[in-house]
Amino acid sequence: MSSAYSNLFNLAGKTIIVTGGVGILGRGFCHGLASFGAQVVVADVRGDEAEALAADLARDHGVEALGLACNVADEESVDALVEKTIARFDKIDGLHNNAASKSENLEAFFAPVEDYSMDEWRKIMSVNLDGLFLVAKTVGGQIKKQGTGGSIVQTSSIYGIVGSDKRIYEGSEYMGMQISNPPVYSASKAGVVGLTRYLATYWGDCAIRVNSLVPGGVESGQNDTFKERYSARVPLGRMAHRDEMVGALIYLLSDASSYVTGQTLVVDGGLTAW
């Protein structure tokens, strides 16, 4: 029986779409899924990079992979993503609904609440929540039509379930710029958790599981001040490395979590335990 347990995480033969596939966390997610045997569809607004990453996955892991340009905020683009995936692989078994925007205008993105532009708010929401719903309904609808069941994992954030501590942002920078946690980011990521629970109950009778993956702070270019102050809030005493989110994703997309749906898996080093 123990040998059967070891196969629970096997993704061989499963076709899994990853949106935001070439992002800070996306690349690791794609490599992780491919290393467990999945046929990975790398979807990203940066189509050339998605194609290049798919080629790397095929070479490094010996799996079939497909890179596609996709703007998750555009309905035609999302429809094309599903159509091209079906044309290549015949079915979809899983989705990592991972794309998110932090804006090209960082000054507007990090503006204080009192000065926050509604244009900026709507632009971020169009990707982080509207786009996430659009991808979920389109891919989930395809899986429902297949009648095969499947798993959907949606990336939220620690700031989708707790408020941010302003004190850790004093003197903190990201890529040389003063940073904060914008209100639109928290609101959009909280929306991901609510939508996940709704879809889990909505599609439960179709054997489609829907869960949220909630990363804590991941080290990705913040200055030492931020890293030190954030780490002081974490029982494990440090920020996460990007690869430390991959195991949770494998679990949620594999048969190892076959009776898990509507849940919020928090990978935060214990921050929310305090």
Q: Tell me the pLDDT tens digit for each residue of 220-270.
A: 888 899 999 999 999 999 999 999 999 999 999 999 999 999 999 999 999
The pLDDT of residue 103? 78
Q: Which of 5, 116, 169, 174 is catalytic?
A: 174
Beta bridge mates, 173: 178
Q: 18 phi and psi, to 5 degrees? A: -120, 110
Is 135 in contact with 71 (CB distance < 8 Å)?
A: no
Is 78 in contact with 137 (CB distance < 8 Å)?
A: no
Is 238 in contact with 269 (CB distance < 8 Å)?
A: yes
Q: Quick one: average pLDDT of 155-172?
A: 92
Return the DSSP state at 241: P
The pLDDT of residue 3? 65
In this prediction the pTM is 0.95
Round the average pLDDT of the chain to a whole number and report it. 95
Q: What are the pLDDT digits (tens) for 55-92?
A: 999 999 999 999 999 999 999 999 999 999 999 999 99
- Can 174 be counted among the known catalytic residues? yes
The domain ranges of the chain are 9-273
What is 9-273's CATH superfamily?
NAD(P)-binding Rossmann-like Domain (3.40.50.720)
- Give how far Cα 131 sits from Cα of 9, 70, 73, 100, 191, Å: 29, 11, 4, 9, 12
State how far the Cα of 64 lies from the Cα of 42, in Å rounded to an integer. 11
Q: What are the pLDDT digits (tens) for 89-132?
A: 999 999 999 999 877 788 899 889 999 999 999 999 999 999 99
Residue 176: is its pLDDT beyond 80?
A: no
Split at pLDDT 50, 70, 90, the class of 196 is very high
Residue 1: is its pLDDT beyond 60?
A: no
